[in-house]
Amino acid sequence: MSGADNVVWLGAPAFPEAARHALADSRLRANLRRATGTIRDKRLAVAAELDDWEELRETAAAVKRHTLRHLDHYLLRLEEAVTAAGGTVHWAADAAAANRIVTDLVRATGEREVVKVKSMATQEIGLNGALADAGIRAFETDLAELIVQLDDDRPSHILVPAIHRSRSEIREIFLREMGEWGRPAPDTLTDDPRDLAEAARLHLREKFLRAKVAVSGANFAAADTGTVVVVESEGNGRMCLTLPETLITVMGIEKVLPSFADLDVFLQLLPRSSTGERMNPYTSLWTGVTDGDGPGVFHLVLLDNGRTATLADEVGRQALACIRCSACLNVCPVYERTGGHAYGSVYPGPIGAVLTPQLVGVENAASLPFASTLCGACYDACPVKIDIPEVLVHLRAEAVEAKRRRRLLPTTEALAMKAAGAVLSSPRRLAAVQGPAALGARLLSRDGRIGVLPGPFARWSGTRDTPVPPRESMRAWWRRTRTGTRDEGRTATEREERR
C-alpha cells in the first residue's frame, strides 16, 4: 500500500465532477449551511472576546515556523522524553509501515478489539481497514465517527465528520445498524439530540468497559517533557485514554511543539477556532506511563507519510502548521456548497486542497488546488495564519506544469495563454486586437453578457458571467477626453514603440 492510497479515496471522481453531483443534493446543502453557519458565528463571537487574538495567531504561526525549521531536533527530543517516561516510540515512514506497527502491537496483546479516539492520522493511513484485514475490530467512539462507521460512510468534515447527516438520518442509521455492532438502539428512539446521544452513550459504554487496547491520534506533543495531548468534547477520548491497559497513539510528525509552555497559546486558539468554545470540555495530557494511573503500556507511532517531502517545499510547507481546527472549512464558500466528500480525500476543504496534493503528489490530486475561489476567507480564519491562497496558487502552477510534462502537444489553454501573453505584452498588438475583439464579443452577447463561446472556449465561457466590453476602450476614451494630441495619450512604452 502506498502512502497515497488512503489520503485520497481510490475511484473517487475529480473535484469538478463530484462537486456538480453534490450541488444537486439540496438536503446536503441545507445540512451544511446550517451547521457551518452555526459554528462560524460561535467562532467569531469567542475570538472577539480576546483582545490579544491577533497576537496569539502571530505567536502560534511563529512557533510552528520555528518547529518545522528544526523538526528533526524536536522529534528526537520528543523520542528521548517519551522513552524516559516509560513509553516506546516507533517511526513510520509511510502508511504501510504505520499500519504494520500498530497491527503487530495489538496482536502482541492477544486482543481482537480496539477502541478508537477520533484521529485524522489513523484515517489517513486507513488503519481500520488494515486492522480488519488482520482480524482485529476497531470501534470508533467519537459520536460523529460512530455515525460514519455504522453507516459505512466516509467523513465529510475534519471536526464534525457526519456534518452531512441530519438528526432524522442519524436516527435511521442508529436503528438500522447499532445492533450489528453491539447494543442496539431502543425501538422508541426519536431524533431528539438527547435521545440520540443517550443511545450512543449506552452503545459505547460496554465497549469502553471491555476494551484492553485503545488507539488515538494526538493534537500536540511537547518535545521537552514528552507530554502528548488530545482535546475533545464528548469524554469518549478520556475513556479510551484512561481505561484500557495499552494505548497506541499515531501522530503526524508535524504535531510536535518545542515545549509544554507552548500549549498555552495553542489551547486558547484551538477550541475557539474549532467548536467556538472558550476551552475544550476534555483536554487529556499524559507523559509516558504512570503506575496505577491509566494504561500501563504506551506506544507513540510517529508518522511521516509524505510530510518530509512537503517540508522540502518552501511555499507548501506552511500547510504542515495546521492544527486541524477546521475553521477554514466552515468559512469556505466552496466547502459550504459541496461538502467534504467532493474533495475525495480524508482532508477536505481548503486545508485538504493544499495538504492532500502535497502528501500524495500533485499529479494524484490535480483538481484540488483549483477547488477554491481564492477569496481568502480561510487565511483570515486560520489560527496559525497559513496563507492557503498562496499555497493554492503555488500548487496550481505545479499542477499545470505536471500536466504540461505529461503531454506531447500543448493544450488549447496553453496556446491561448501564450497568445494572450504576446498580445498583452505589446501596447501596439493590444490596440490592434482590442477593437475587433470587442466587436466580436458584442455580436455574441446577450443581456449584457458574453454567452457561451464556440469550440474549445465553450467550457470556460459557459461557467462565467463575462460582461460585454464597452464600445469605447479605456485607451480610446483617455485619448478623446484627456489629451490634446494623440501622442500625449500614449504611454511611455507606446511612444517608444512609435519611434
- In the DSSP assignment, the letter for residue 367 is T
199 binds ligand SF4 (CB under 6 A): no
Q: Which residue, 146, 275, 128, 250, is CA-closest to 200?
A: 146
CA distance 270 to 193: 25
320 binds ligand SF4 (CB under 6 A): no
User: 152 in helix, strand or coil?
Assistant: coil
Among 323, 334, 362, 400, binds ligand SF4 (CB under 6 A): 323
Q: Which residue, 344, 345, 350, 347, is CA-closest to 330?
A: 350
Distances (CA, A) of 164 to 153, 155, 293, 331: 11, 9, 38, 16
* Site string (390-419) toward ligand SF4, x via CB under 6 A: ------------------------------
The x, y and z cell numbers of residue 200, run together, are 450512543
326 binds ligand SF4 (CB under 6 A): yes
CA distance 337 to 359: 25
Residue 381 vs 395, nearer CB to ligand SF4: 381
What is the four-CA torsion angle of 286, 287, 293, 297, rounded to 10 degrees? 110
3-state helix, strand, coil in the chain (%, to 5): 55, 10, 30
Distances (CA, A) of 165 to 87, 173, 367, 441, 456: 39, 10, 26, 45, 39
Strand partners, 8: 345
Residue 244 vs 383, nearer CB to ligand SF4: 383
Residue 8 vs 131, nearer CB to ligand SF4: 8
CB of 252 to ligand SF4, least distance (A): 12
For residue 66, count other CB atoms closer than 10 A to its CB.
14
CB of 254 to ligand SF4, least distance (A): 11
163 binds ligand SF4 (CB under 6 A): no
CA distance 230 to 237: 8
Among 237, 288, 383, 489, binds ligand SF4 (CB under 6 A): 383
CA distance 99 to 471: 65
Q: Which residue, 150, 144, 146, is CA-closest to 164?
A: 144
CB of 68 to ligand SF4, least distance (A): 14
CB of 324 to ligand SF4, least distance (A): 5
User: 302 in helix, strand or coil?
Assistant: strand
CA distance 4 to 64: 25
Q: Which stretch binds ligand SF4 (CB under 6 A): 127-135, 203-211, 376-384, 453-461?
A: 376-384
CB of 283 to ligand SF4, least distance (A): 17
Length in residues, the chain: 499
346 binds ligand SF4 (CB under 6 A): no
Residue 246 vs 305, nearer CB to ligand SF4: 305
Residue 228 vs 325, nearer CB to ligand SF4: 325
* Burial class of residue 408, CB neighbours in 10 A (0-12, 13-18, 19+): exposed
246 binds ligand SF4 (CB under 6 A): no
Residue 77 vs 385, nearer CB to ligand SF4: 385
For the chain, state the CA radius of gyration: 27
Give the footprint of ligand SF4 on residues 458-497 (CB under 6 A): none
384 binds ligand SF4 (CB under 6 A): yes
CB of 433 to ligand SF4, least distance (A): 42
CB of 411 to ligand SF4, least distance (A): 31
Residue 147 vs 386, nearer CB to ligand SF4: 386
The residue type of 437 is A
Dihedral sign computed on CA atoms, order 30, 33, 39, 45: negative
Distances (CA, A) of 84 to 81, 122, 166, 198, 462: 5, 25, 47, 41, 63
Q: Which stretch binds ligand SF4 (CB under 6 A): 47-55, 126-134, 164-172, 322-330?
A: 322-330
325 binds ligand SF4 (CB under 6 A): yes
Among 125, 213, 327, 368, binds ligand SF4 (CB under 6 A): 327
Total residues contacting ligand SF4 (rule CB under 6 A)? 14
**Cross-sheet strand order for the sheet of 113-116:** 88-92, 297-303, 246-252, 213-216, 113-116, 137-140
Distances (CA, A) of 413 to 388, 419, 438, 497: 25, 10, 20, 29
User: 263-274 and 53-69 are packed helices; what angle lies between their axes, rounded to 10 degrees?
Assistant: 120
Q: Which stretch binds ligand SF4 (CB under 6 A): 189-197, 212-220, 238-246, 325-333?
A: 325-333
Among 28, 371, 381, 399, binds ligand SF4 (CB under 6 A): 381
Q: Which stretch binds ligand SF4 (CB under 6 A): 20-28, 192-200, 326-334, 462-470?
A: 326-334
351 binds ligand SF4 (CB under 6 A): yes
322 binds ligand SF4 (CB under 6 A): yes
353 binds ligand SF4 (CB under 6 A): no
The x, y and z cell numbers of residue 250, run together, are 499515531
Residue 158 vs 189, nearer CB to ligand SF4: 158
Q: Which stretch binds ligand SF4 (CB under 6 A): 80-88, 321-329, 337-345, 467-475?
A: 321-329
Among 382, 391, 400, 450, binds ligand SF4 (CB under 6 A): 382
Residue 361 vs 389, nearer CB to ligand SF4: 389
33 sits in which H/E element? helix 26-48
265 binds ligand SF4 (CB under 6 A): no
60 binds ligand SF4 (CB under 6 A): no
List contacts with ligand SF4 (CB under 6 A).
Answer: 273, 322-328, 351, 381-384, 386
